[in-house]
Amino acid sequence: MKQAGVVDYLSWSQRLKLNDIPLLVKHCRVAGPVSRSALTELELELLHNMIGRLSRLAEVAAEVRSLQHPNNMASDGAMVHTT
């Protein structure tokens, strides 16, 4: 049962994204380990660009796989193993 005013640390920390940390630690009075590990604006931009490249790579891989094995593809693009 959840109590009013109580934060479930595990749930909260699992929802925290890398790009949330700089905003979270922006107003810290003392720089601790979390604030020192926060990504810079440049690092956040590089991370965003890398995720975009990985998404495109996954899309192309799925396209190539569907061209190589058109009869073994499910409607969601997953391979269907036949015996």
Each residue's pLDDT tens digit, 37-80: 999 999 999 999 999 999 999 999 999 988 887 776 566 666 56
Residue in 50, 54, 43, 53 with CA at minimum distance from that of residue 21: 43
The answer as to whether 44 is a domain residue is yes
Task: Output the pTM of the full model.
Answer: 0.62
- In this structure, the answer to whether residues 20 and 50 fall within a common structural domain is no
Residues 28 and 50 in one domain: no
For residue 1, being part of any structural domain is answered with: no
Q: Considering the domain boundaries, does residue 52 fall inside one? A: yes
Tell whether 72 is covered by a domain: yes
Task: Give the chain's domain count.
Answer: 2
pLDDT (0 to 100) of residue 13: 83
Q: Which residue range is the domain that position 77 belongs to?
A: 40-83
Does residue 17 sit in the same domain as residue 31?
A: yes
Please check the confidence at residue 34 and state whether its pLDDT lies above 60.
yes
Query: Looking at the DSSP assignment, which residues form a beta bridge with residue 79?
Result: 73
**Is residue 64 classed as helix, strand or coil in its secondary structure?**
helix
